[in-house]
């Protein structure tokens, strides 16, 4: 019994070590020179352990890490073997398999898409539960500074736990009309992960509603000592029930005519809780539903190309027309270059 526990303990340590080595390689891929202290902080390890990881990586022959001396020295991944892959260890792949089973049984409406994703990532057989010890896949990378984002999250987590308000002084916005924003006072509720990016979810005193703030775009903020009482009770399902993406805003009651092949695609999913879909003929449907977030509504409509007609509201129809006009104007400017 004791030997069995000891063997299990050794296996857990092996998985943890492989996982941290993989994370260390990924961190070095997106940074130039990283000090041993920073790596120790990132991996929740000590400096001696980091030196051991470097030795293990260099002896494996797959990657080589250079040691840079001097006051600004540290470790740097050798550019000759710098790849564009992500590392997945056995424990992560096993978690993916478990999630696949749960979604298959409880969320059948999204199972085909998730199963396809798992097949691309895992390259393993679900029927006999076999898997490779580690998987390497190609992926896009974020150019954001993970270390700076983690420091922001630590401050925000402290504010959430202690129910302290956050003052946002500078936030980089995508919408040009909102780039020059006034100071915001936020009651922080949670930090969520959406499409591999971290967002602060909080009640905005200015807007009197929940808002999302991407941590990468939080340029200047501070945690105050002023306390708050939670203003809104919500679940993640409530949070985005009327949104196509993560951005909330003014609500619009959309009425659309959607033609083949998007009539089938739109009919297959629940886009908003109050949607009504009427089949007009074999090639088109009428879609009625309330949605939030003007920018993402427009993007969603553009994804249906010339197979959608906007019946109402007039505002969305006009904004959609402006975007199409700008696209055509830009095309005409560049087509003869």
- What's residue 131's pLDDT? 39
Give yes or no for residue 331 having a pLDDT over 80. Answer: yes
pLDDT band at 88 (very low <50, low <70, confident <90, very high): low
pLDDT band at 25 (very low <50, low <70, confident <90, very high): confident
d(CA 2, CA 196): 41
HEC string of 112-147? HHHHHHHHHHHCCECCCCECCCEEEEECCCCCCCHH
For the residues 61-72, what does the mean pLDDT come to? 78
d(CA 308, CA 288): 13
Tokens of 167: 């003052």
End-to-end CA distance of the chain: 75
Looking at domain 146-239, its CATH architecture is: Roll (2.30)
Give yes or no for residue 62 having a pLDDT over 70. Answer: no
Q: In sequence order, what are the beta bridge partners of 75?
A: 34, 67
The reported pTM is 0.46
How does pLDDT run across 114-170, given as a tens digit for each residue?
777 776 665 443 333 443 444 444 444 455 556 777 788 888 888 888 889 999 888
CATH of region 2-83? 1.10.10.10
Higher-pLDDT residue of 193, 79: 193
DSSP state string for 184-219: EEEEEEEEEEETTEEEEEEEETTTTEEEEEEGGGEE
Domains 146-239 and 251-331 share a fold: no
Return the sign of the alpha-carbon dihedral for residues 43, 246, 294, 284. Answer: positive
- Region of poorest pLDDT, from 44-58, 98-112, 287-301: 98-112
d(CA 219, CA 181): 12
Cα-based angle 314, 320, 321 (whole degrees, multiple of 5)? 90
Higher-pLDDT residue of 62, 221: 221
- What's residue 160's pLDDT? 85
- What's residue 3's pLDDT? 46
- CA 60, distance to chain mean position in Å, is 32
For the residues 214-232, what does the mean pLDDT come to? 86
Type and span of the H or E element at 256: strand 251-259
d(CA 285, CA 162): 50
- What's residue 121's pLDDT? 64
Neighbours of 163 (CB within 10 A): 14
**Domain residue spans of the chain:** 2-83, 89-138, 146-239, 251-331
CATH 3.30.70 fits 251-331, yes or no: yes
d(CA 47, CA 168): 35
């Amino acid at each position: 019994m004791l030997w069995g526990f000891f063997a299990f303990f050794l296996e857990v340590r092996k998985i943890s070590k492989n996982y941290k080595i993989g994370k260390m390689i990924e961190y070095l891929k997106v940074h130039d020179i990283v000090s041993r202290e920073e790596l120790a902080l990132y991996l929740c390890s000590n400096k001696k352990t980091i030196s051991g990881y470097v030795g293990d990586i260099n002896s494996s022959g797959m990657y080589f890490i250079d040691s840079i001396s001097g006051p600004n020295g540290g470790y740097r991944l050798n550019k000759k073997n710098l790849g564009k892959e992500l590392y997945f260890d056995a424990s992560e792949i096993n978690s993916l398999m478990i999630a696949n089973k749960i979604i298959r049984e409880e969320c059948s409406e999204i199972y085909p898409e998730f199963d396809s994703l798992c097949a691309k990532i895992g390259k393993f057989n679900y029927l006999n539960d076999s898997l490779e010890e580690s998987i390497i896949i190609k992926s896009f990378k974020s150019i954001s500074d993970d270390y700076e984002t983690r420091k922001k999250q630590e401050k925000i987590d402290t504010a959430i736990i202690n129910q302290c308000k956050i003052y946002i002084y500078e936030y980089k916005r995508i919408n040009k009309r909102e780039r020059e924003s006034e100071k915001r006072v936020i009651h922080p509720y949670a930090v969520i992960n959406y499409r591999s990016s971290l967002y602060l979810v909080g009640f905005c005193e200015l807007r009197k509603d929940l808002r999302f703030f991407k941590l990468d775009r939080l340029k200047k903020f501070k945690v105050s000592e002023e306390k708050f009482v939670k203003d809104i009770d919500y679940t993640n399902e409530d949070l985005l029930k009327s949104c196509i993406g993560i951005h909330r805003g003014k609500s619009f009651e959309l009425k659309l005519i959607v033609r083949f092949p998007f009539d089938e695609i739109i009919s297959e999913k629940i886009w908003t809780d109050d949607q009504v879909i009427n089949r007009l003929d074999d090639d088109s449907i009428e879609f009625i539903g309330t949605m939030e977030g003007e920018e993402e509504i427009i993007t969603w409509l553009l994804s249906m190309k010339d197979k959608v007609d906007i019946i109402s509201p007039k505002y969305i129809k006009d904004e959609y027309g402006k975007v199409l006009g700008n696209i055509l104007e830009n095309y005409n400017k560049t087509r003869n270059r």
